[in-house]
Structure 1
Amino acid sequence: MARPSKARAASEESSALSSVVSDAPETAVADTAPKGTRGTKRKRNVKQQVKEESEGENDIEERPAPVKKTRQRKAAKVEEEVEPSPKKARKSKKVIEETQEAETTTVDAPPTKAKVVRKRKTKEEKEAEAMPLAARTVGHKLFIGAHVSAAGGPPNAVQNAIHIGANAFALFLKSQRKWANPPLDETHSINFHENCNKHDFDQNKHVVPHGSYLVNLAHTDPERTKQAYDSFLDDLKRCEKLGIALYNFHPGNSVGGDRAAAIAHLAGNLNRAHKETSKVVTLLENMAAGGNVIGSTFEDLRDVIELVEDKSRVGVCLDTCHAFAGGYDLRTPETVQKTMSDFNETVGMKYLRALHLNDSKAPFSSHRDLHANIGTGFLGLRGFHAIMNDERVIGLPMVLETPIEVRDEDGNLQKDAKGKDMEDKGIWAREIKLLENLVGMDVESEEFKEIEDRLQKMGAVERNRIAEQVEKKTTKVKEMEEKTKAKQTKLNFGKAVPAKKGKKAKKEEEADQSDASSLSALPSDNES
């Protein structure tokens, strides 16, 4: 029998292999398939499986409708291109569903606030506000007023002074709480002169601007000195343009440094400022606080004035609240006379050029600067009666710095519709009339006693509140001093303490010293 050829054998082997492959399971095909075709087959199988799972899930849970079709198409396109594994496919599907759910969720917009429409004041309302709260007392020997607002420019301060029936006034020449300020408007200067002349305000005597609270001419730091001096000098030059001759300011603070050096530095700055201006008299205000604050004693004021070269350019503005809180009693005619005598002996009455009239919420010598309305504080109405009837204050500008916030019977501040503290400038108008009427009034009269009692009742809540604060602070300070003393005693424990000498020992020691001095007084051999 003839042998088959090699070609025929190969053909039969190939057909046999094909029949085996066709009869094998699909998984076997995947395992034995060539490398190039194996991945393609797996992708088709996974895709088919994901599709079936997706269809099954859609039968159970309905997918929320997407808001934007573009995002849905984009998500589907990404899903087709990536063709993840079944596990990743389920995760991707969950992310897509959460995204679509977030897109369909609507967020409630915040309610829009109703626009506040501010009602403009009518002409009648403006005229009513401009009407004086009290008529000015013409020809009175006392010139009493208040520290009024200069908002809109110094000329407005004149109108505000007239509004409360004042014959003197104080003002800020610029913002007292910032360093940089625009220059004085020339129009304001012209109008200020016109208003003062029209309403008979003597700018040389009865207008006393207040300096900035930021200025500390006693600070020895060069940078701080320049900043404070420039602001101070600017105020003096504004005074000259406005025709004002008096300028009141706080002396400053030594900031923990040497007190004598700070006072000398302050006086040096005044000398510089006096040379750069022509006529303004700078008034040192006495202060309430002690410690590093300069001006809390009459001796401080004296020491500054002694170092000022041009004595005609310096003076004092005496604040009644500051003096009382600083330890100078003003509650009775006798104590007023005593304080005035002390001022005259220490500083000199010729330097008293103005007064700030304020009662004190804080007790005597508390060193707390808390102004109260006239007669409602610890100083009391009798003290002001004595001051108003003192001939030494006649002709001086006397300025109220009392609070004008409205309070209820319990002492609580009242708020307006905007939530701001309510103010009543009528308080100043009434206090001016009260002080003017004290001249010649008998303190033992029923009229005076009725006013005194009423004012004391008005201020009782505030006095008690502040008195409690002061008492707590005083107690705390004493406790700290006792602890410090006890600690020092403990540190000194065990050290040798010199024994106290009795009377006999002291006499013997004095006798020995006397003998020694007698011997030393005898001439020596060389001197003879």
Structure 2
Amino acid sequence: MPIVARTLVNSLKKPMYIGAHVSAAKGVHNSITNSINIGGNSFALFLKSQRKWTSPPLAPEAKDQFKAFCLEHQYDAAKHVLPHGSYLVNLAQKDAEKAKQAYTCFLDDLNRCEQLGIRLYNFHPGNTGKEPRQEAIGRIASQLNKAHKATKTVVTVLENMAGSGNVVGSTWEDLRDIIALIDDKSRVGVCIDTCHSFAAGYDLRSPDAFKQTMEGFASIVGMPYLKALHLNDSKAPFSSHRDLHANIGTGFLGLRAFHNIVNYEPFQDLPMVLETPIEKKGADGKVEEDKSVWTQEIKVLEGLIGVDPETDTFKAEEKRLSDVGAEERKKFQGQADKKAKTEDKKQQKTLDAMFKKAAPKRKKKAPKEDGGDDSDAS
């Protein structure tokens, strides 16, 4: 039995399709049952094992049941189902053999999407491997162009990332530069992950900050490319470049950020997928999944639609969730402060060394010659 009934989207003040990344264990069709059980109106899944480069093909009965269940339970597979790509795949890979392995695994997932009637496929862009960034971006685009020609309808959706350094996709400019090299731009899109955005330095917390972030996305990438969202709070503070998902309202983003998100009209009709932690430790010390966490978060998010954030009810819920995450935020803020202090010391040491090297050397004073006492001269 479902933990809670799904909310009819047409009963909401704005048509927001909120769900979670659910299990597809023992057959992709089971993802639909798992989404129904938590009251999701959209969902994500893995199409095969994330631990292997190759997996058996989709079972015919699983494919048929997936399509039948989508029709029966009114999930639009083309619009509101968002498979997640394999973490093994790096489309920026330079090594020819490894690049072929990554592409083969990636293309297999795209084919699975098309067999199931799924149109959107989310994936992490890749890692430069310390090679020049623009060359890595070129390799990603080249692999996508090849994959688009080998398939018919699926849209490859680039997920924005939290990291810096070798990670591709942590800036809007990275996403723009990949898209610029795609031949068929109707086959590419973007998924905004709220935790990743915040960690990368894009603020979503206040209405003004949210507006500025989305205007930046619109001007650099373009709103037509936005195809989906991952809804996650952040355990790590702003611009930390750490990918640490927190439960909604308990992290550094806070409940007001999600109020901004679910009331933003351009997000209507897009799949909005939770990837928040659901692991809980029982009395026996064992860690188990509690899927009711997603149920509660879906209802919280749906309940924010059309609500005034200045009401006492909103503020009470905001404080309740903030209090839940207070200790965790304190822990990660401490880590961030310690890291910043260490980096400041390193920077100061480097500057001191530079100044020392640049400073003119003082000439040694020549010793005074001993010419005797002038008074004795005659």
The TM-score range, normalised by the shorter chain, is: over 0.9
**1:444 maps to 2:318:** no
| Among 50, 53, 57, the residue aligned to 1:176 | 50
- Tell me how far 1:416 sits from its aligned partner: 6.0
* Secondary structure in structure 2 of the residue aligned to 1:403: coil
Deviation by residue 1:1-40 (Cα, 9 ceiling, x = unmatched): xxxxxxxxxxxxxxxxxxxxxxxxxxxxxxxxxxxxxxxx
Q: Which residue in 2 is equivalent to 1:72?
A: none
| Contact 1:416–1:422 (Cα < 8 Å) also in 2 | no
| Among 429, 433, 452, the residue aligned to 2:299 | 433
**1:135 maps to 2:5:** yes
* Secondary structure in structure 2 of the residue aligned to 1:399: strand
Q: Which residue in 2 is equivalent to 1:34?
A: none
- Tell me how far 1:335 sits from its aligned partner: 1.0
Q: How does 1:417-428 map to 2 (within 5 A)?
A: 417=284, 419-428=285-294
| Contact 1:354–1:396 (Cα < 8 Å) also in 2 | yes
Q: Which has the higher helix share?
A: 1
- Tell me how far 1:491 sits from its aligned partner: 3.9
Q: Which residue in 1 is equivalent to 2:224?
A: 350
Deviation by residue 1:86-105 (Cα, 9 ceiling, x = unmatched): xxxxxxxxxxxxxxxxxxxx
Q: Which has the higher contact order (CA 8 A, sep 6+)?
A: 2
- Tell me how far 1:457 sits from its aligned partner: 0.2
Question: 2-side partners of 1:490 and 1:190: how far apart?
Answer: 73
- What amino acid sits opposite 2:264 in the alignment? D
- What amino acid sits opposite 2:185 in the alignment? K
Question: 2-side partners of 1:187 and 1:238: how far apart?
Answer: 14
- What amino acid sits opposite 1:470 in the alignment? A
Deviation by residue 1:251-298 (Cα, 9 ceiling, x = unmatched): 011011100000001000000000000000000000011111110000
Q: How does 1:393-472 map to 2 (within 5 A)?
A: 393-406=267-280, 414-415=281-282, 417=284, 419-472=285-338
Q: Which residue in 1 is equivalent to 2:371?
A: none
| Contact 1:246–1:280 (Cα < 8 Å) also in 2 | yes
- Tell me how far 1:433 sits from its aligned partner: 0.8
- Tell me how far 1:494 sits from its aligned partner: 4.4
Question: 2-side partners of 1:228 and 1:383: how far apart?
Answer: 36
**1:341 maps to 2:211:** no
**1:286 maps to 2:160:** yes
Which residues of structure 2 form unaligned runs of 5+?
A: 363-378
Q: Which residue in 1 is equivalent to 2:68?
A: 194
Q: Which residue in 2 is equivalent to 1:28?
A: none
Question: 1-side partners of 2:99 and 2:240: how far apart?
Answer: 30
- What amino acid sits opposite 2:254 in the alignment? G
Give me the identity figure in percent. 59
- Tell me how far 1:485 sits from its aligned partner: 2.6
Question: 1-side partners of 2:288 and 2:324: how far apart?
Answer: 17
- What amino acid sits opposite 1:311 in the alignment? K
| Contact 1:354–1:397 (Cα < 8 Å) also in 2 | yes
- Tell me how far 1:487 sits from its aligned partner: 2.9
Q: Which has the higher strand share?
A: 2
**1:306 maps to 2:176:** no
* Secondary structure in structure 2 of the residue aligned to 1:204: helix
- Tell me how far 1:493 sits from its aligned partner: 4.8
Q: Which one is further off, 259-268 or 215-224?
A: 215-224
- Tell me how far 1:426 sits from its aligned partner: 0.6
| Among 194, 200, 205, the residue aligned to 1:331 | 205
Q: Which residue in 1 is equivalent to 2:355?
A: 489
**1:476 maps to 2:342:** yes
Q: Give the 3 Å change call, closer, same or farther, for CA 485–177 of structure 1 in structure 2.
A: farther
Q: How many residues align?
A: 358
Higher-Rg structure is 1
- What amino acid sits opposite 2:330 in the alignment? N
Deviation by residue 1:224-266 (Cα, 9 ceiling, x = unmatched): 1111111100100011111100000000110111000000010
| Contact 1:364–1:378 (Cα < 8 Å) also in 2 | yes
* Secondary structure in structure 2 of the residue aligned to 1:367: coil
Question: 2-side partners of 1:222 and 1:382: how far apart?
Answer: 46
| Among 242, 249, 261, the residue aligned to 1:387 | 261
Q: Which residue in 2 is equivalent to 1:5?
A: none
Q: Which residue in 1 is equivalent to 2:374?
A: none
| Contact 1:315–1:351 (Cα < 8 Å) also in 2 | yes
- Tell me how far 1:423 sits from its aligned partner: 2.1
Which residues of structure 1 form unaligned runs of 5+?
A: 1-130, 407-413, 497-528
TM-score by length of 2: 0.92
